[in-house]
Amino acid sequence: MVILCGSYFFYMSWRPEFGLLLFGTTLVDWYLALVMARQQTPLRKKLVLALAVAANISVLFFFKYFDFATSSLWSLFGYSDPLVLNILLPIGISFYTFQSIAYMVDVYRKDLQPERNFFRYATFVSFFPHLVAGPILRPANILPQIRQHKEWSAENLKIGLFYIATGLIKKVVIADRLGVFVDQVYLQPELYSGATLLAATYLFAFQIYCDFSGYTDIAIGSARILGYTIPDNFRQPYFSQSLTEFWRRWHISLSSWLRDYLYIPLGGNRKGTVRTYANLLITMFLGGLWHGAAWTFVIWGLLHGLYLAAERFIAKLAGADAGARSKSYWAAALRVLVAFNLVSFAWIFFRADSLDDALYIIKSIFGHFGTLYSPTIPLTSLALYGILILVLLAFDYWQGHERAAEKFAALKWYWRWPLAYAAIFGLIFFAAQSGAQFIYFQF
């Protein structure tokens, strides 16, 4: 009850009325899950499930996609004055909607018994560490933890604080500093050469990774201090050797959700080659649309769908697995480089303010490359950005081989305290002067 009340206070401190929306959708889902579990026939179960999914999607559509849909339709039919309500998007609605749908589907499949205690279910939906920007928690993972009695643990405190510290460093030292460069260039791309636009695109790849994985680290650490374990949402994504592997390592909670609740129910790879490619495109199209109501996100999703389909096609011709890793060092390095560049190219559409801007940036990179020099951006800044990225990659590589948080917690106090103070002073002296909100708050 303390966590539940605290979560609602945390959420409603921004806009109190959206706390009522969260409570209302939570109550409806909790009740419909109980109703569905009591149905005796498959048809009735499906009807209740369809009602629950439709209710969740309708709320999400109204707040997130209504203006986009009406504007697109008006433009399609040649109207210049579309019906736009300028609806304020509730923070975290995409995350808790997908989480609620997963709960309903798991109850329908009998993978999970419905939670009869409303307050426990409400705590699952509103759990504050992940509420506003994920990760998307699976009910089978977090609901049993909510039912357990929690004991104070100094070990959890040490591990949790380590996650929070690394998350803050990723966000305010790396992501926000990179964001100064990226935002300036992408705000008016016509002022910069293709070389500068390419540099900004590569820096954005690391900005969004540090920004989002930094938030996830803070969420994991906050939950761990309270005795809850949230799965990792990122596992060295930029060391991936293929796009298939990238989506196994990037935003894992979303990619696994799309796989289990969309791609596989559509038929997955079980209904022929053409259907498999179509399912990949549909899944990634909806994954792109989930990120935002704009054609740039749709194209970003479709582009990744094409990547995955092409990769699967090439792997099939070679008689290999699309996500297999090469054992040769040089082949692996080349594949990592190719995958990173393909991902970075797609990030252009994700970051650009409009489709026209995205196309202009691509045209400049490939047609008007020019020089990296820009009078408004000191070249010395690039050296600092390069150092920050190298430190990040080194830490990421090391953390993937050794559980850094557990190793930190196991250190003697005379090693642990100096490292903690170093992190604190690092945040004070090296954080970007102008902080920015987390990128995924807008989704």
Helix/strand/coil for 356: helix
The active-site residue, picked from 130, 149, 251, 291, is 291
| Residue 320: Cβ-neighbour burial (10 angstroms; 0-12, 13-18, 19+) | exposed
Q: Report in angstroms the alpha-carbon separations of 130 from 42, 153, 166, 329.
A: 34, 21, 17, 37
Q: Note whether 360 and 189 are within 8 A (CB).
A: yes
Q: Note whether 254 and 443 are within 8 A (CB).
A: no
Cα(126)–Cα(123) distance, rounded to whole angstroms? 5
Q: What are the backbone angles phi and psi of residue 377, rounded to the nearest 5°?
A: -125, 110
Q: Note whether 15 and 90 are within 8 A (CB).
A: yes
Q: Note whether 356 and 217 are within 8 A (CB).
A: no
Q: Residue 215: which of 273, 128, 142 has the closest Cα?
A: 128
| Known catalytic residue at 291 | yes
Q: Which two tokens stand for residue 178?
A: 């990179």
Please name the amino acid found at residue 213: S
Q: Report in angstroms the alpha-carbon separations of 326 from 15, 236, 248.
A: 50, 16, 16
Q: Which two tokens stand for residue 237?
A: 């994504």
Q: Note whether 276 and 268 are within 8 A (CB).
A: yes
Cα(387)–Cα(248) distance, rounded to whole angstroms? 27
Q: Which two tokens stand for residue 407?
A: 């190793």
Please name the amino acid found at residue 23: F
Q: Report in angstroms the alpha-carbon separations of 132 from 171, 235, 255.
A: 16, 21, 18
- Active-site positions? 291
